[in-house]
Amino acid sequence: MQTLRSDANFDVRQRLRKLLNIDCVRNKDRMAVDTVIKISSPEVVDVLRSVKLVVHDIIPERYRPTDDNKPGMYPHPVALDTDGIGNLVFVDFNPMTKTSRVIKARLHNPVNVVILKTELSECKSLSIASGICFVCQHGTNILCLGISRSIGVSVKTLKSKKQLQETAMKLGISDEGTAEAIRKRIQCKLDQILESRPSKELLNLDRKIKPCILTTAANDLLFCSSDQDRTIYQIQLKEDGIGFAGNVIEIKKYHDDCYHILSMCLKNDLLYISWKGEEGRGGGVVFLDLLQGLTTRCFSNNTRDCSEVHGICPYMDGIAFADLKSRHVKMYAAGNITTIAGTVAVAAENEKNLFVCDVQYGAIKLITGLEGTTLFLSCLNKLYLAFGVKSKKNLLPQQTPAESILQIEECIEFLSKTISDVKALHSLERNTNGADGTISQQTMESVQMMHSSMSSLVDVTSTTNPSYKANLKSCLTTVVENLHSLSHVKQDLPSKLQYCRDFGNIFTESVKRITSWSAYYYTKDSSYYPLPDSAINLKDIPKLKKPDTRSITPEDSKLLYDWAKTHGKCVRQRTVRQETTMYKCGTLPLNMYSDKNYEGNALVFNWQQNEENDSNDQRVDEEYDTDDETDDRDDEEDNGLVDNHDNTEVAKELRFIVNRGVSRSGRNLRISCRLTNF
């Protein structure tokens, strides 16, 4: 959409600029609600429907350049292919050094780019099958690079015995014995295969050929051309545990005028071939019927419809090809040639989206339609309208909950169909996400939760008050959070009982907050508040009646008192650095922490009258102020207490302190000799 707003023809560009500002088309991680409303509006969708195809630069990135995707990094893309699940691989050729780089691009926004191989000999052709990229080094060999899966068998990843047995059967070795024995046989077999082949990345062929151009016909089948032999070969692929091995079969010799093949692709059992004649003369496109072995000419170069053909790929009902001299991308179907766009080497994703290498400008472009975009934006608009979310300029009537539910059901039907189509196309059993071209599973669950919640709301309101028409805009997050924000002022983590008890006051105070009001003061002798416009007065809002107070019987009160006296109370809540023990463990009654109950001994205090002078009293007081000396003196006096005075009552009061040793708040207790003077 940003490309259309900036670079489309005058009519489309002007219409989009009136409807969308620059913030609406900037792809951000979290888009504002207003911008999404504008993008999904019916006016914008109508403009997009009038556009048949859009050409968008993906490499280099124009609007959000990154460290791995910016102008000048990949100046000479010459060949590319996609795996159909969000990955694109292309060759960047250096004409000065005659070397190439193989680069992988993840089709995100912006595109993430990773360099797979560098310093390769002249490479101008590649093809992807089953997550493996086969790169043809001109006249040398074929490389195998893992794109969406790894190559070869890793013994460390085989955890279960079943996996070991399946791998052993594929390698043609015995699968009997223990898991450890099978593992050793597999490792031994892999070591033998590794010694017999030159490299893990090279395609190990049973016949030496000099490949130039290749294309994939199936997950285990390649077609390859050799200009030196002037022959087209078929390569049957097989994984040998380390890499790939191939069985080479000769299919067809070049026809007399063909000396150099530029590109190949397979479409409906027809192998389409673009070629050139000797010293660049002639050329065009022919197709080879693989069932009958007959070659038929489609069109030739230097004609009105085609100046000079180069790359070809399957596209819709025919093939797309690049016309070098006219710098156009065209389509050939049923004998007719039509122009799609402009540029050079081409590749198609699922025969719908075209990826084009523009060698002159050093860019990779995407040519795609907007049918899927318009359907998704229409679905998004329905979801917003279901809850009454609209721009300020649009005056739309309020919908009933039943109408909103129907709109959400349409959204769920569209999203579910999209996900099922993607799974069927790529044979996926897992949940799909954004990288697969669908919404995430979490988003799908959220939409389904909206539908179930609204259905439940309609069922409740129809039962209690059938004439009530709910405004679903009040269910939005901003309204709900504003309504319940007061509940967290009093209690950070309210319990269900606390929330239900305070709900009446919370609702009343929230209504006061969201009411528009104004005040006039210091303008005249009497200040006043204008009466705001409202649908209902605050005093007329129904209020929750508090339940009547209930009293317990004296017997129940005595039972609670005795229980608390016997078993103790909970730990009091202490605030320490804004943390309370209410949210921590350990607030059980004290009896839950005691292991054993010990019977305490009575304390008997020896009251003595000291007739010492003031200096001696001061010396004794200073000694008692020291904790360590006091503890030692207490121990000595406790061991030799003499019952000279009848102090039984004081001993009873202090007995529980000696038995516990710690207070209910967790502090250590000390008994000082000063208590004897109490």
Closest CA to 79 of 347, 265, 360: 347
Among candidate residues 475, 496, 512, the one where a domain is terminated: 475
Q: Residue 626 domain-assigned? A: yes
Q: Residue 558 domain-assigned? A: no
Give the pair of three-digit tokens for residue 296: 């038929």
When pLDDT is cut at 50, 70 and 90, the band that residue 588 belongs to is: low
One domain, residues 327 and 281: yes
Q: Domain count for the chain, please give it.
A: 6
The structure tokens 């040398």 sit at 140
What is the average pLDDT across 81-110? 88
Residue 619 predicted with pLDDT over 90 = no
What is the average pLDDT across 649-669? 52
Better pLDDT: 627 or 292: 292
Return the pLDDT at 350: 63
Classified as helix, coil or strand, 621 is: helix
One domain, residues 33 and 88: no
Residue 374 predicted with pLDDT over 80 = yes
Amino acid type, 67:
D
Rounded Cα distance between 560 and 393, Å, is: 65
Question: Which of 28-42, 105-119, 481-495, 618-632 is predicted least confidently?
Answer: 618-632
What residues make up the domain containing 46? 1-51
One domain, residues 32 and 83: no
One domain, residues 346 and 218: yes
Rounded Cα distance between 329 and 344, Å, is: 7
One domain, residues 27 and 59: no
What is the average pLDDT across 92-106? 90
When pLDDT is cut at 50, 70 and 90, the band that residue 422 belongs to is: confident
Give the pair of three-digit tokens for residue 139: 């006249």
How many other CB atoms are found less than 10 A from the CB of residue 165?
Answer: 18
Residue 624 predicted with pLDDT over 90 = no
Return the pLDDT at 676: 41
Q: Residue 630 domain-assigned? A: yes
Largest CA distance in the chain: 138
Better pLDDT: 53 or 30: 53
Return the pLDDT at 548: 80
Asked if the peptide bond before residue 397 counts as cis, ω within 30 degrees of 0, the response is no
Question: Which of 96-110, 490-504, 513-527 is predicted least confidently?
Answer: 513-527
Burial class of residue 211 in the structure, from the number of CB atoms within 10 Å of its CB (0-12 exposed, 13-18 middle, 19+ buried): buried
One domain, residues 228 and 314: yes
One domain, residues 363 and 391: no
One domain, residues 133 and 165: no
pTM above 0.75?
no
Among candidate residues 475, 498, 520, the one where a domain is terminated: 475
Q: What is the pLDDT of residues 109-157, one digit of tens each?
A: 788 899 999 988 888 899 998 889 999 988 788 999 998 888 888 888 8
Better pLDDT: 654 or 217: 217
Return the pLDDT at 410: 93
What is the average pLDDT across 509-526? 68
Residue 666 predicted with pLDDT over 60 = no
Rounded Cα distance between 59 and 75, Å, is: 10
The structure tokens 């239900």 sit at 500
What is the average pLDDT across 569-576? 53
Q: Residue 591 domain-assigned? A: no
Rounded Cα distance between 251 and 222, Å, is: 12
Return the pLDDT at 134: 93
Return the pLDDT at 663: 56
One domain, residues 530 and 638: no
Q: Residue 562 domain-assigned? A: no
Order of all β-strands in the sheet with 112-120: 77-82, 87-94, 99-106, 112-120
Q: What is the pLDDT of residues 302-333, one digit of tens each?
A: 888 888 898 899 888 889 998 888 888 899 99
For residue 335, the domain's CATH number is 2.120.10.30
Residue 502 predicted with pLDDT over 60 = yes
What is the average pLDDT across 359-365? 85
One domain, residues 114 and 248: yes
Residue 280 predicted with pLDDT over 60 = yes
One domain, residues 352 and 285: yes
Classified as helix, coil or strand, 546 is: coil
Question: Which positions ≥6 away from 493 have C-beta within 8 Å?
Answer: 583
Tell me the pairing of strands 221-226 and 231-239: antiparallel
Q: What is the pLDDT of residues 627-654, one digit of tens each?
A: 444 444 444 444 444 444 445 554 544 4
Order of all β-strands in the sheet with 309-315: 309-315, 318-323, 328-333, 336-341
Q: Residue 579 domain-assigned? A: no
Q: Residue 90 domain-assigned? A: yes
Return the pLDDT at 611: 42
One domain, residues 212 and 88: yes
Query: Is 19:43 a contact under the CB 8 Å cutoff?
Result: yes
When pLDDT is cut at 50, 70 and 90, the band that residue 558 belongs to is: confident
When pLDDT is cut at 50, 70 and 90, the band that residue 607 belongs to is: very low
Residue 554 predicted with pLDDT over 90 = no
Quickly list H helices, 135-198: 161-171, 179-196
Mapping DSSP onto H, E and C, the string for 229-262 reads CCEEEEEEEEECCCCEEEEEEEEEECCCCCCEEE
Amino acid type, 428:
L
Rounded Cα distance between 358 and 347, Å, is: 12
Q: Residue 354 domain-assigned? A: yes
Residue 344 predicted with pLDDT over 60 = no
When pLDDT is cut at 50, 70 and 90, the band that residue 615 belongs to is: very low
Q: What is the pLDDT of residues 489-498, one digit of tens each?
A: 777 777 888 8
CA angle 405, 407, 411 (to 5 degrees): 115
Q: Which of the given ranges, 11-20, 392-401, 431-440, 500-509, has the highest pLDDT on average?
A: 11-20
